[in-house]
Each structure stands twice: as C-alpha cells, then as structure tokens.
Amino acid sequence: MDEFSYRDGALWCDQTPLREVAEQFGTPTYVYSASTLVDHYVRFAKAFESIDPLICFSAKALSNVHLLRLLGEQGAGIDTVSGGELHRALAAGVNTERIVLAGVGKSADELRDAVRRDIRCINVESEEEVALLARIAREEGRRPRLAIRVNPDIAPDLRTPARTTTAVRGVKFGVDIERAAALFSSAAADGSLRPEGIHVHIGSPIFDPQVYAMALERVLALVAEIEAAGHPVTTINLGGGFPAEYSAGSAPGWDDFAEAICPRLEGFVGRGGQVIFEPGRTIAANAGVLLAAVRYRKQAGERQLVVIDAGMTHIVRAAMYDSYHFMWPVTPGIEMVPPSRDQHSLDDLVTYDVVGPICESSDYLAKGRALPAMAAGDLIAIFGAGAYGMTMTSNYNSQLRPAEVLVEGDRARLIRRRETYEDLVALELLDDTPSAG
C-alpha cells in the first residue's frame, strides 16, 4: 500500500494535500512519501526474514541523498553502479559494510575509490576487470572483496522489456556461467584479492518468481563446483528486478517471491553464507508521484491532446519502454475520484493523448487515456514515478530538471531545488567565456 489517496475530491500524500505542494513548489515536481518508502522496505525485509539478507537498495532507481539516508536509517545498504552513486551513498551516511558496487564498465578510478573505501563487495563482470582490480589492489596495499557476476542464460518472463533483460547469452552483463568457476579460482590464486561470492541479476521487472528459482539452481550448482575446487563461497547476491504494481493487481507479492527463493537458500545461510538483494523499483516506485500542470488542450485530427509541463525529459519511461503510468487530476471533483488506479470506466470521461513540451514525436506520456475533462492550469499526478523517474531526467531541449519534495506526515520539505537557467550554463561559463548581457 502507499499513502497517496483521494479525500473529499482531492489527492493527498499522508496528511498533506498535493495541491498545496504544487502551489508552494511549482510543477513539475516529484513528491515522495517517507512513510511509504519505509513501509515498503520493512515489508520487503519481513518477507525474506528467514534468510536474513543484506538488502542493498538500488540507487539507480532513486538516488536522492535524503532518501538514501532515510532507507539507511532503517538498516538498508546501497547498491551502486558508478562512482557517482558510491559518492551519493557515502554522502547519505551509509556504512561501507553495506555498500556494493556493480557495473559492466567501471573505470580504474571508480575501482580504486571502492578499494580505498573497503566497501562490502565489488561485483566484477569480466576477466580483464579482475586483472585491473588486482593491479589496483596491489598498488593500494589492500585486499578488496569481490563477487563474480555471472550470466546464467535464463530468459525472463514475457512481460520483462527486452531493454531490461540482462541474463540471456550474448548480452553485455556478467561472465558466461561456464567460465565463472575458472575466473573465481584465478582470483583466489591472486593474493591481492578476496573472492567471496557469486552475483546474478536476471533483469527487471521479473513477474514470475520461478525465474528466480531457475537462476538459483544454476548459481547453486556453480557454487558447488567452486567449493569442490577448494574455494569457499560465502555470499550469493541475487540482485534485484522485483516488480512494482503500476496498475492494481499487476504484480505478485513479496511473499510469492520469498516462497520461491528462501527454501533454496536456507542450507547456504545455515552454514554461514550471506544473501544480498538489490531491490529498487519494488520499494520506490509507488512511493513517488510526479506533479504536473496542464498548459494547453488541442485537437489533432480525430484525437484530443492535453499538453502538460512534464515530458520525456522529466519522466522518460513511457517514451523509452512504452511503460504504463496511471495518471489522474489532483482535484477532479469528488464524483470523479477513481475507485482504483486502473483505467476508469465512467461514461463522462474524455479520451486524451497526454503529451509533453519536448520537440520529439516520442514525447507521449499516455495515448488514448480516459480522464476527466481537463483545462489549462489543472494539476495532474503521474503515479508510480518513484523509481527511474528523477534518476533518468535530462536537460534535453535545455529543459530544467524538476524539484523533489519529501512528505513526512503533514510536512512537505524540499530535498532538491528546481534547476535554474543559470544552472544550465554554469559548467559552460568558463573564465574566458563572456557572460550574458
């Protein structure tokens, strides 16, 4: 559940009306519910408590330092995939023992920083990366912990987008599973490294719990092969990929995934092994909405368009993945409040294409969407925007990145200010560049 609800004909977050948030901070603005974010993390951890995993929240899904700190205070670690995300995790005050670093193309500087910080684990993805990490470790006089990311060659379920499928043969991620045991042995023979685990991430979102079960069977067989060669494996990192409900009833619950995963790992945990998860969207997606305002209505052939002030530079998922986001006016009137976040069926709705201001024909947030009649100045909430919303924003068309606001009960506070035109050019105005005017 989340804390976004309609009361008396208007949308609230916890005890805060979102109309007032828009009036105070403008639009477009990302709004997050602190209680929802914490509740989702706690309930995810509860589902898997029998194997006591280290839950490293995926910073690529939602990376604001304030929100990483909030999760860190609940005991979460952070999954990072770049030096920048590692910097964010540290700025949020997360202990390095709860930080992991992944990424298929980590730079020498990123690896060196991770080695110096002695983070919990570096997930390596190629033989050449292992060699580079070993050289850096010798130069630094340290022995970093690492896990080999493997590609188990498992196709996800049919609802997983091709662009976020990461564990079929031939993709850029991980080491082919048949080469992993030899690479682990090679790393173990190098006295400058501490190989301790196997990492796998099979894509996102994964709707079928049995896909995790299949991946685990292959990982556990690999672990047995490595240990038979005399090298202990103390960590299994199953990555993330757990889905979020972008429409009601669209995803299995966390207990369904735990039922498929936990029994297969109890023996590993029972002999002292640690399990790591890297969830992102499943915790964050429904903890955030994007508030936007209508600028214009227009007719385009037989289609009715509503043009809002948020487009693909503010939330790119619809344009990039053809993803569905429920959306509804912030104050539609009490008789128009949706009974759920599914497509409404009232006869007096209008079918709109919802588009943004960006000069691209792909800048659609929804097509053929039934909504209450809207007019310029009306506010609209785009739901399920807490994951891969703000982190994927851009300045294309020199658009300003939006503000971010955190709601805690009846208090709304700014956790990232809206960009300004000065911000757009700040890195370009060098000493020899004349200023405007």
In the chain, the N- to C-terminal Cα span, in Å, equals 52
Catalytic annotation present for 359:
yes
pLDDT at 345: 59
CATH 3.20.20.10 boundaries in the chain? 34-284
pLDDT at 173: 84
- The reply, when asked if residue 317 is annotated as ligand binding, is yes
Which pair of structure tokens corresponds to residue 192? 């400058």
pLDDT at 437: 55
**Number of residues that this document lists for the chain:** 437
Distance CA 211, CA 231 (A): 27
**CATH number 3.20.20.60 is the correct assignment for the domain at 34-284:** no
CATH 2.40.37.10 boundaries in the chain? 4-31+285-425
- Say if residues 291 and 29 touch (Cβ distance below 8 Å): yes
Distance CA 426, CA 415 (A): 21
- The reply, when asked if residue 140 is annotated as ligand binding, is no
Distance CA 343, CA 326 (A): 8
Distance CA 60, CA 304 (A): 35
Q: In the 8-state DSSP scheme, what is residue 93?
A: T
Q: Scanning the structure block, which residue is given the tokens 């209680």? A: 35
Residue 393 backbone phi and psi in degrees, to 5 = -70, 160
10-residue mean pLDDT series, the chain (437 residues) = 89 98 98 98 98 98 98 98 98 98 97 98 98 98 98 71 61 90 97 97 89 95 98 97 88 96 98 98 98 98 98 96 94 80 69 97 96 96 98 98 98 98 95 62
Q: How many CB atoms lie within 10 A of CB 259?
A: 14
- The reply, when asked if residue 416 is annotated as ligand binding, is no
- The reply, when asked if residue 105 is annotated as ligand binding, is no
CB-based burial label for 257 (10 Å; 0-12, 13-18, 19+): buried
Domain 4-31+285-425 CATH (choose: 3.40.50.1980, 3.30.70.380, 3.40.50.970, 2.40.37.10) = 2.40.37.10
Q: From its phi and psi, is residue 95 left (phi > 0), alpha (psi between -120 and 50) or beta?
A: beta
Distance CA 308, CA 178 (A): 50
Q: How many CA atoms lie within 13 A of 409 on its CB side?
A: 0
* Upstream peptide bond of 332 is cis (omega within 30 degrees of 0): no
Q: Scanning the structure block, which residue is given the tokens 């891969």? A: 388
- The reply, when asked if residue 388 is annotated as ligand binding, is yes
Q: State whether the Cα torsion 306-312-315-318 is positive or negative.
A: positive
Q: In the 8-state DSSP scheme, what is residue 61?
A: T
All residues at 6 or more sequence positions from 302 whose CB lies less than 8 Å from its CB, including other chains: none
Which pair of structure tokens corresponds to residue 353? 């294409």
Selected catalytic residue, list 56, 121, 262, 359: 359
Distance CA 414, CA 24 (A): 10
AA identity, residue 29? T
Angle between helix 65-72 and 83-91 (nearest 10): 60
- Say if residues 146 and 130 touch (Cβ distance below 8 Å): yes
DSSP 236-253: EE--------SSTT-S--
Distance CA 88, CA 64 (A): 8
pLDDT at 335: 78
Distance CA 52, CA 269 (A): 8
pTM to 2 decimals? 0.94
- Say if residues 146 and 190 touch (Cβ distance below 8 Å): no
Order of all β-strands in the sheet with 4-7: 4-7, 10-13, 16-17
- The reply, when asked if residue 163 is annotated as ligand binding, is no
AA identity, residue 186? S
- The reply, when asked if residue 360 is annotated as ligand binding, is yes
- The reply, when asked if residue 49 is annotated as ligand binding, is no
> What is the b/e burial string over 167-195, where b = at least 16 CB atoms within 10 angstroms of the residue's CB?
bbeeeebbbebeebbebbeebbebebbbb
Q: State whether the Cα torsion 199-201-207-210 is positive or negative.
A: negative
- Say if residues 32 and 406 touch (Cβ distance below 8 Å): yes
> What is the b/e burial string over 335-346, where b = at least 16 CB atoms within 10 angstroms of the residue's CB?
ebbbeebeebee
- The reply, when asked if residue 278 is annotated as ligand binding, is yes
Residue 31 backbone phi and psi in degrees, to 5 = -125, 130
